[in-house]
Structure 1
Amino acid sequence: MSKRIVWVLLAMLGMSVLIPASCNKKPTEPEVLNITCVSRDRQEGLLGSTLDSLVVLVTDSKGRPVEGRRVDFEVVQGEGKLSVKSTLTDASGKAYTVLTLGNRSGTVKVKATLFGHDKSVVFTATAYAPASIPCGGEGLSWSCGGRGDSEI
Structure 2
Amino acid sequence: FFSIFAFATCGGFEGSVTLRVTCPGPDNGTEVTATFGYPFRLNQAVFRPSLTHLCNHTWPQDVHLVGDFSSAAMFFVGVAVLAFLYSLGALGGYLGYLHLYRCAGSRLPLADLAVSALLAVLWLVASSAWAQALRHVRAALGAPLPHCPSPTVGCAPAGVTPMGSL
User: TM-score, normalised on structure 2?
Assistant: 0.27
Larger Rg over CA atoms: 1
Higher relative contact order (CA 8 A, sep 6+): 2
User: TM-score, normalised on structure 1?
Assistant: 0.29
Higher helix share: 2
